[in-house]
Chain A
Amino acid sequence: MRKGIVRKVLILSVSFLALLLLLQPVHVNAQRTIKVGILDTYSGPPAVYGNDALNGFKLALNEINKKGVLGAKIEFTTRDDKFKVDIGLSMAKELVMMEKVDLLVGTINSAVSLAVSDYVKGEKIPFIVWISKSEKITGEKGHRYVFCTSENTYMAGKAGGVALSKKPYVKYWIAGDDYEYGHAIADAAWRNLKALKPKVELIGQSWWKVGEPDLIPYITAITSAKPDAVIFATGGASMTNALKAIKSTGMSERIPIWIHTATDHAVLKPLGKEAPEGVMGTMDYHFYHPDTPANRAFVKAFQDAYGNPPGFPAFHAYVTAHLIAKSFIKAGAIDREKFIKAMEGMKVDSPVGEVEMRACDHQAVLPMFLGVTKKVPQYDFIISTDIVTVPGKEIMPTCEEIKKVRGKS
């Protein structure tokens, strides 16, 4: 008797499931969606940048998917790389093998980007780097399948080096985060400065571990050495720590300082009026500059959607999404090789003007904004002022230089 009931229930549920399957809507002849795999850091201190980029990407997709791309939509799947190379690499493989994505984008960590870049080279899958700043990505380690839509250490370093070469300082100290980005930015700035002004002299260096909480011992030690100027090569949470230490020791009043991304809003906002003034910084994007209709429209749309103004990762991700969409439209098919062909030399309008994806090295041509931190009455945080815009073409390596460094490796 009991057996019979179980059997009945089983048969009923199986037929119910079968019915459900039959009732499933069937997409006839619909173009398949384009799947983008996003690999970035969504935990720990860098999460603030990862989330910002994701929001910028989502905002752009909302615009893009209204019209569609090749009669379909662009979708995405995310994975957290936890800022670690091994995790990043396995997540990239998961996105490619399990999620079957058409292309990969992401990563804030240069080391992760380089590892993933090496992987996609073998798998022939396009990978667009949107936050990492190592110049190796599209320089020495560049190849057909990797693109970069963020500014890199070469560009930032050159912008800083050129600016510093016009100043009277001779004795320099370099200090920064002891990882790929820190060393790359410091090298680039110093190389350019030394080339433009051979008499500059490096009197010392300090390197602290990433995430070092207390930088005051470093700042007091550097101040004791009495350099004419200091180049800091730091970013993210360490940057906030550095600026706090610089302010509390009064260093910025005694010694001129240049830091790439010191004028980043994500860094300056939490400090409020407590950020040091007079620090020279270069930056790739400000929501308050340039004050153009395009930038204002982007900032407003972003602010309405997410409640805060876009940071630089959102800007790069926004540009990346539009580059992807426009390139697929030009390619005319969801085909990786055709997509790459279309990406090369592709131009899109962006909040800071037209951005070109340079064909010879797959590096986006982006301007740099050189400014000085200052208190202004209209904001309750410090902003970058006296901004000088350096066009991307002036600070990028030439295609010949790229050929040379790539030939070497």
Chain B
Amino acid sequence: MTFGGAELICQLLVGISRSMILFIVCAGLSFVLGVLRVPNIAHGSLYMIGAFATFSITKMFAGSTGFWIALILAPLLVALVSLIAERALFQHLYQREHLMLLLFTFAISLILGDLVKIVWGAEYKSVSAPALLKGSISLLGASFPRYNLFLILIGPLVAIALWLFTIKTKIGKISRAAAVDREMVGVLGINVSWVFAIAFVIGCYLAGVGGALVAPTVSITLGMDHTLIIEAFLIVIIGGLGNMWGALVGSLIFGITHSFGVLFWPQFAIVFPYIAVVIVLLLRPKGLLKSVW
């Protein structure tokens, strides 16, 4: 089978657009991993809550404005949920070993999953894209969904915002310092507890943004958390733990190998991203970019 340039570009862009959602979610996961050293399995559940909340908020408002409002409110709701979880539970557990934290966050993910079922029920939910982003455009003769184009634009914006936050703001700088040496930060008289809370909430907020952004492209169902969290952990590992740019590179590798796998070898497309992961880990066991761990 032969493909023209248009199809290749189209497929590349489709891969990148999927990578952008992965990146936003993984940047949050990686941030929490880097600053708090918490492998947060419940991150996927927060992403799912973001998607379900987007559904409800979109429903509340008529017309296309609903989705835009949801895009702002749903991640904030997720941030609120995570703030409660952090203050009530997580803050007492940072000193525990990683295995304990893994089990703990896994338990939280099961609880959140059931809460979602209680609040929203088991039926499939669907959010439609706002009118502006509905349908597809013709791109060099191939058709390309407008919404995916929007995702390609939003991804870099989030990356830049997050980068500026860690570089320019005081809290960002403290977070970075805490990631490297938290005792030292504490010694300097900074309230580490609140720095951690803020870092945690920011990470979870990004999961909410990812959930809100993915809502119009998929059916919103229970179990979407588990599908995502496995991919997200792989991406964070190949990118380098706690490294935001690593999350970006990892997401792009994951998304693009997948979409090209689908094009060239559709029966076996599922395995391509995982093969890429294996290769990266064989060559660079600590991840592509510098890990903060």
CB pair B18 A250 closer than 8 Å? no
Contacts A207-B267, A209-B270 given; indicate if A45 touches B262 (C-beta within 8 A).
no
B15 within 8 A of A: yes
Question: CA separation between A209 and B14, bound complex, in Å?
Answer: 18
Question: CA separation between A378 and B221, bound complex, in Å?
Answer: 27
CB pair A249 B136 closer than 8 Å? yes
Convert B145-160 into 0s and 1s, putting 1 for each residue whose CB lies closer than 8 angstroms to a CB of A.
Answer: 1111000000000000
Q: How many residues of B contact A (CB 8 A)?
A: 46
CB pair A214 B217 closer than 8 Å? yes
In the complex, what residues of A have CB within 8 A of residue B143's CB?
A: 220, 223, 249-251, 254
* The one of A47, A209, A218 that contacts B222, using a Cβ cutoff of 8 Å: A47
**Tier of interface size on chain A:** 35 or more
Contacts A220-B142, A248-B129 given; indicate if A241 touches B219 (C-beta within 8 A).
yes
Chain B's closest residue to A222 (CB) is: B266
Convert A22-66 into 0s and 1s, putting 1 for each residue whose CB lies closer than 8 angstroms to a CB of B.
Answer: 000000000000000000000111011001000000000000000
In the complex, what residues of A have CB within 8 A of residue B214's CB?
A: 213
In the complex, what residues of B have CB within 8 A of residue A212's CB?
A: 227, 270
CB pair A271 B222 closer than 8 Å? no
A221 within 8 A of B: yes
CB pair A178 B218 closer than 8 Å? no
In the complex, what residues of B have CB within 8 A of residue A207's CB?
A: 266-267, 269-270
In the complex, what residues of B have CB within 8 A of residue A251's CB?
A: 143
CB pair A221 B217 closer than 8 Å? no
CB pair B126 A47 closer than 8 Å? no
Chain B's closest residue to A204 (CB) is: B266
In the complex, what residues of B have CB within 8 A of residue A237's CB?
A: 124, 219, 221, 223
CB pair B126 A272 closer than 8 Å? yes
* The one of A45, A221, A223, A274 that contacts B221, using a Cβ cutoff of 8 Å: A45
In the complex, what residues of B have CB within 8 A of residue A223's CB?
A: 142-143
B135 within 8 A of A: yes
CB pair B145 A248 closer than 8 Å? yes
Residues of A107-125 at the interface with B, using a CB-CB cut-off of 8 Å, are none
A217 within 8 A of B: yes
B284 within 8 A of A: no
Instruction: State the Cβ distance, A303 to closest chain B Cβ, in Å.
Output: 15
* The one of A214, A216, A240 that contacts B126, using a Cβ cutoff of 8 Å: A240
Question: CA separation between A217 and B8, bound complex, in Å?
Answer: 11
Contacts A43-B117, A48-B123 given; indicate if A248 touches B258 (C-beta within 8 A).
no
A375 within 8 A of B: no
CB pair A211 B223 closer than 8 Å? yes
A266 within 8 A of B: yes
Instruction: State the Cβ distance, A90 to closest chain B Cβ, in Å.
Output: 19
Convert B91-127 into 0s and 1s, putting 1 for each residue whose CB lies closer than 8 angstroms to a CB of A.
Answer: 0000000000000000000000000010000111110
CB pair A244 B217 closer than 8 Å? yes
Residues of A153-195 at the interface with B, using a CB-CB cut-off of 8 Å, are 175, 178
B62 within 8 A of A: no
Chain B's closest residue to A253 (CB) is: B143
CB pair B223 A205 closer than 8 Å? no
Chain A's closest residue to B15 (CB) is: A217
* The one of B10, B18, B123, B136 that contacts A224, using a Cβ cutoff of 8 Å: B10
Contacts A213-B227, A214-B217, A216-B217 given; indicate if A267 touches B124 (C-beta within 8 A).
yes
Question: CA separation between A237 and B147, bound complex, in Å?
Answer: 20
Chain B's closest residue to A206 (CB) is: B266
Chain A's closest residue to B227 (CB) is: A211
Chain B's closest residue to A45 (CB) is: B221
Question: CA separation between A178 and B267, bound complex, in Å?
Answer: 9
**A44, A208, A220, A254: most-surrounded residue (chain B CB, <10 A):** A220
- The residues of A with any CB-CB pair to B shorter than 8 Å are 43-45, 47-48, 51, 175, 178, 203-209, 211-214, 216-218, 220-221, 223-225, 237, 240-241, 244-245, 248-251, 254, 266-267, 270-272, 274
Nearest 10 Cβ contacts at the A-B interface: A240-B219, A206-B266, A47-B122, A217-B259, A224-B7, A45-B221, A270-B126, A248-B145, A44-B223, A221-B263
Complex A-B: 22 CB contacts under 8 Å: A43-B117, A47-B117, A48-B123, A203-B1, A204-B1, A207-B267, A208-B270, A213-B217, A216-B14, A216-B17, A217-B259, A218-B269, A223-B142, A224-B7, A224-B142, A240-B124, A240-B221, A241-B219, A244-B218, A270-B126, A270-B219, A272-B126
Given contacts A224-B7, A248-B145, A270-B123, 4 further A-B contacts (CB under 8 A): A47-B122, A48-B124, A223-B142, A237-B221
